[in-house]
Amino acid sequence: MKIAIAGHPTYGGSGVVAAELGMALADRGHEIHFVSYQAPFRMDPLHPRVTFHEVEVTSYPLFKYPPYALALSTKLLTVVREFGVETIHAHYAIPHSIAAYLAQEMCRDCGVKSVTTLHGTDITLVGSDPSFFEITKFAMEKSDAVTAVSRYLADATRDRFELERTVDVIPNFIDPVEYSPLHRSTDLRRRFATDEEVLLCHISNFRPVKRIPDVVEVFSRVAAKRPARLLMIGSGPEVMLAQAQACKLGIADRITWLGSIDQVAEPLACADLFLLPSDGESFGLAALEAMASGVPCIATAAGGVPEVIDSGRTGLLCAVGDTEAMASGALDILESRAGYQEMSEAARTVAIERFALDKVVGQYERLYENLVCRETSG
């Protein structure tokens, strides 16, 4: 099939999923057209069936806010016409879903279908804001198919937007070869911690929803009880605040800040535990990546996270803000080598059994095929 994928290309879960889905579909023989203002950072531009189409927005003094959504719709239309694209897949509703709808309307004869995948904050934060609510609802109603990355998000979407239509659940996925305990390298780990220290890790875009102060607090409590280090990967608005907090707590020298990096699999596999104390999380892709790497997660039972982590078996779920429970849970898990090993193996097994790329990408393929078949048979 010929599929156009529109998404946010920068660091963030929805961009990762859009890029990795596109690459997996290209590996399966589909022709993939990424359409965005920048190439997604996990896209391989050299893949023979992958093309990137840059959306350029003309700047003009009259525009205080350049109308990106209109330029995106126009670029989608061009790509649909030029390459015979059959489906536009919008990742993250705003503004991709409405842009896909406009492209469809501008070319009704093309018969192109649209799929919207909801990722989380496009519903729970941004889409719920009065400035975007009605257009997000309208775009979802007009999309030929809507999917959400967890049952929690599908239910929240229908409730908040009072949608009549179905929202299918297709969970996020991982490549178990890319994320694997086999990437754990002793040499790399020694850059972050000694062999006697435990290594905790957090990866995110450091936005308030991730509760970065809780990451630092949990680590501080663990480090007070046993030799420990913290590895922080990513960048965002909360970094400086967290660095100041670490200085105040006297643990700044125990934390490595890697910033944003394209490939997280190797440093992640070096960790012993992953921390995800978010306020809300539609799915928690970073936790799944950790699990596939054999790294159990200490997380909050927020949103869709309980659909990913089985508390007590593949990690631990605590109440939002309960840093004491997270720290004591982390210490308990690290206490027994055999118990830790069992949890680490269970995390990897569950990640593969429920969320391996092979199983999930097939669900998207069937969705596209059903839409296109419905058109030809109707």
> Footprint of ligand GMT on this chain (CB under 6 A)?
12-15, 17, 92, 119-121, 149, 172, 204-205, 209, 280-285
Give 331's contacts (C-beta < 8 A, 6+ positions apart). Answer: 222, 225, 226
Distance in angstroms between the alpha carbons of the first and the last residue of the chain: 19
Q: Which is nearer to ligand GMT, 13 or 40 (CB)?
A: 13
CB 189 within 8 A of CB 198: no
Shortest Å, Cβ 234 to ligand GMT: 9
* CA separation, residue 248 to residues 220, 221, 243 (Å): 11, 14, 9
CB 304 within 8 A of CB 152: yes
R_g of the chain computed on alpha carbons = 21
And the tokens for 185?
A: 């390298």
Give 310's contacts (C-beta < 8 A, 6+ positions apart). Answer: 346, 350
Q: Which is nearer to ligand GMT, 209 or 269 (CB)?
A: 209
Residue 210: helix, strand or coil by DSSP? helix
Q: Which is nearer to ligand GMT, 71 or 126 (CB)?
A: 126
Shortest Å, Cβ 149 to ligand GMT: 4
Q: Which of 102, 39, 97 is closest to 73 using CA atoms? A: 102
Shortest Å, Cβ 331 to ligand GMT: 26
Shortest Å, Cβ 197 to ligand GMT: 28
- Note if the bond before 95 is cis, omega within 30 degrees: yes
Shortest Å, Cβ 42 to ligand GMT: 12
Which residue matches tokens 């999380």? 281
Q: Which is nearer to ligand GMT, 215 or 222 (CB)?
A: 215
Q: Which is nearer to ligand GMT, 8 or 348 (CB)?
A: 8
Q: Which is nearer to ligand GMT, 236 or 340 (CB)?
A: 236
And the tokens for 365?
A: 């393929």
Q: Which is nearer to ligand GMT, 209 or 251 (CB)?
A: 209
Pairwise CA distance, residues 274 & 97, whole Å: 33
Shortest Å, Cβ 117 to ligand GMT: 8
Pairwise CA distance, residues 199 & 122, whole Å: 33
Q: Which is nearer to ligand GMT, 12 or 329 (CB)?
A: 12
Shortest Å, Cβ 354 to ligand GMT: 14
At 299, phi and psi to the nearest 5? -140, 175
Shortest Å, Cβ 205 to ligand GMT: 5
Alpha helices in the chain (DSSP H): 13-27, 68-83, 93-106, 121-124, 133-142, 151-161, 186-189, 212-225, 239-249, 265-269, 285-292, 323-335, 337-355, 357-377
Which residue matches tokens 């198919």? 145
Shortest Å, Cβ 236 to ligand GMT: 9
325: Cα within 13 Å, side-chain hemisphere:
14
Shortest Å, Cβ 213 to ligand GMT: 16
Residue 168: helix, strand or coil by DSSP? strand
Q: Which is nearer to ligand GMT, 308 or 346 (CB)?
A: 308
Q: Which is nearer to ligand GMT, 6 or 223 (CB)?
A: 6
